Amino acid sequence: MTIDSQHTAESVRSASVGAIADERQEQRDALFAVEGMTCASCAMRIEKGLKKVPGVTEASVNLATERATVRYDPVVTDVTKMAQKVDAIGYKAIPLTPNEPFSPPEQAPESDETQVLFAVEGMTCASCAMRIEKGLKKVSGVIEASVNLATEQATVTYDPAQTDVTTMVQKVDALGYKAIPQTPMPVRLSQEADPAVSEIPTANVPSVIASPPPSPADTQRQRRQAELARKRTLLILGIVLSVPVVLLNMFFMNRFPGENVLLLILTTPIWAVVGWEFHRTALKTARHFGANMDTLISIGSTAAYVLSVVATFFPQAVGAITFYDTAALIVTLIFLGKYLEARAKGQTNEAIQKLMGLQARTAHVMRAGREIELPIEQVRVGDELLVRPGEKIPVDGLVLSGRSSVDEAMITGESLPVEKSEGDALIGATINQRGLLRMQATKVGADTVLANIIHLVEQAQGSKAPIQRLADTISGVFVPAVLVVAALTFLGWSIAGNLGFAPAQSGAMDMSQMSMSAVAATNPWVTAIVAAVAVLVVACPCALGLATPTAIMVGTGKGAEQGILIKGGESLERIQAVQAVLLDKTGTITKGKPELTDVFALSETETDEMLRLVALAEQGSEHPLAAAIVEGARTRGLNLEGSPDTFTALAGRGLEATVKGRHVLVGTRGLMHLHHLECIAFHERLELLEEQGKTAMLIAIDHRITGLVAVADTIKVGSREAIAQLQAQGLEVWMITGDNQRTAQAIASQVGIPPAHILAEVLPEDKANQVKRLQAQGMVVAFAGDGINDAPALVQADAGIAMGTGTDIAMEASDITLVKGNLKSVATALALSRATLRTIKQNLFWAFAYNIILVPTAILSPLIPFLQENAPIFAAAAMALSSVTVISNSLRLRRFGK
């Protein structure tokens, strides 16, 4: 890297860090898990509630993740107040970041913006997520809140000087849901745990083993498994009781005395026990003057149940017709849909669970002369750790002693084990294959590479795409609108029936069915109730709330499996619109490390000796090209013991040295001419090498030119194929480099980039200007670089793609981080982004089409013979399938690339 490159990178880093620091002095983020949401209107209600909390500047509730993210001013509010606000609305918010005590402004003039993550229980639809999100935003001090229904999590940004996690939890609780913090509190070490560094103990010294406490992720996973088991039990109860209810209605209607009483006995547990989840949430929401999907289901099933009970004991009031099968199947079918939805939502989060599973649970730490096995949460920076063969590297660190090979495939994608020795860096969660390593912890907890990757994926999965805004807006008013439509449907058919309008009768029916239908036809109130119940049951805000977040969860999770870290929904939308890809040559197309490629001597017998002398001379130089020659000589097995007797670096020309009594010159034609040495014999070979993009250097030993060597930054394996894939996607591929035009053209020709798409001799600080130039031509530009001297260009581009492990500023500057640093991943990332956005559009189309078609059908169901009395049952089946269909469509992304 050049000095200018370093200066540019440091300037960007300083500016970015300064901006972030300034912003965090004013606001913080808090993340909550929100419980009790059942539909999009819940999410909207919580979101609106949170936004009303003084100090909350932004709140976002995600129905799919069941999380809320809140940004707030800590001087004004805290997490506890936000949780209380959610509680007041009828939900429960559980902070996922540590609670911090409230600090008055005079005690905390410089507040930091903090983010907290909550697992949220109790959400059932998009309106739940919106309700929690709005509720969190109303908490004083909350800056931003986002609740994800698919992951059942809430992310809240807040100012700890104004609010805390407890306040936010109480807010979610007040809304009727439950929020559980997912960021563990700091673990205090016992005073006996002395961090002193010591020697490796002998085998007979026992280790002190401390059982690791369950992580918040483990706790949430166990809670979800328990909830799924509970739902399964209730579902089985519903199915077992619903089957005889349906059979009695189909084949034995009014065939024996006491049939309706038997139906009442069978249906009551379904309505009261299995359906209690819907009734409880609906009542809790109603206490806070809200409504959600549960409200619709509860009213619909209760109407059918109460009407049937009245018909059983007071047939003269409403007629003898009963709708026990309708009440039973509404509850059972929709409960089946919610159970399948819960299972499918668990599958959408597989990727993040796999990443979390990579983390070591314990570490062997040297304390006070003893080896102690401690939970990973208790490892501190500076601790000395022991890693035996077959064990995972606990945290990021440096090798103090020992030699081994480490499998880093799960993090970097490197297929072969990497040799490690003293001074080498180690990445947490990678596997030590052979040899004992003594290491020092340099990064622990949230600072490790794996933690950063997990955080980025969680952030992406909890984000919202701009395309979701319309769905969120509709979700906020959906349930109240459906209640109004159902009421109007009831009034309309009541008036029509009392004015003498009789719905069409179905064709072939047996006597009992004809009797029932006749009763229904002569009783306009029954017809009106059936139609209104069908409207209530068929309306589905869940599909709207799950359409975007489930696709983002699966898409970003699939990307993470392939080493592609996508920042979030907004990044997805920008990436899919890309028309041109600008690739930085060094480190992106090429390896970024010069290698010795050619050695030519006038006499083949002198080749090794000539290269040995040159390498010994170059050992006195710090130039990257010199390092390439030395490494190349070592690779060939040459003996490089010793050092040059004299050494002079000749700027822009090469070097002059004396090695073992022999005079050595290595450099350009100009250097040879300066020493009156003729190089005509090498002219053609020099030009050929330069046309290939290589740096050629002439060699003179004892005042005679004996040969030449060439060094080049070699093409990465797969670069040509990757560029061909990008071009096959209809993208224009450009290359940008600081190299001269001839070298740039040589590299471009090898990878298939046309000459017109080469930007050569570009200084690092001008790369962003080149991106602007392409954008001025109307192109949507993606820039792919190594994330160091390319940071300004990454920020300027419509979509920034950082190559590498994602440990530097690139993760903040880019939309995508390619952990594996493989250029093929660029093509894969762009294709995955398009596939994800395409899935989102399909989901939204289905969600809107479903409601646009089926709600009017339910309104007009009395005019459709086969729906006259069975409309609520068909509505329940359709509603149960709607959200499952959306999630199943999102899960298809798991097959991407297969």
- Kindly give, in sequence order, each residue whose CB lies less than 8 Å from that of residue 575, ignoring residues fewer than 6 positions away: 566, 782, 799, 815, 816, 829, 830, 833, 834
- Kindly give, in sequence order, each residue whose CB lies less than 8 Å from that of residue 897, ignoring residues fewer than 6 positions away: 558, 562, 828, 832
**Half-sphere exposure of residue 298: CA atoms within 13 angstroms, side-chain side:** 21
Residue 656: phi, psi to the nearest 5?
Answer: -130, 130
- Residue 855 CA to residue 485 CA, distance in Å, equals 9
User: What residues pair up with 434 in beta bridges, in sequence order?
Assistant: 405
- Residue 179 CA to residue 66 CA, distance in Å, equals 9
> Could you list the active site residues?
584
The alpha-carbon radius of gyration of the chain (Å, integer) is 34
Question: Is the Cα torsion angle 833, 884, 471, 141 positive or negative in sign?
Answer: negative
Where are the extended beta strands (E) located within 703-764? 705-715, 732-736, 758-759
User: What residues pair up with 60 in beta bridges, in sequence order?
Assistant: 69
DSSP 176: B
DSSP 213: P
- Residue 137 CA to residue 93 CA, distance in Å, equals 12
User: Rounded to whole angstroms, what are the CA distances from 599 to 60, 143, 735?
Assistant: 62, 63, 29
User: What residues pair up with 174 in beta bridges, in sequence order?
Assistant: 87
In the numeric block, the tokens 């001297």 are attached to 789
Residue 841: burial class (beta carbons within 10 Å; 0-12, 13-18, 19+): middle
Compute the residue count for the chain: 898
Tell how strand 758-759 and strand 732-736 pair up.
parallel
Q: Which two tokens stand for residue 291?
A: 């409504």
Sheet of 418-420, strand order: 418-420, 404-407, 431-434
- Residue 539 CA to residue 876 CA, distance in Å, equals 9
DSSP letters for 363-378 = EEEEETTEEEEEEGGG
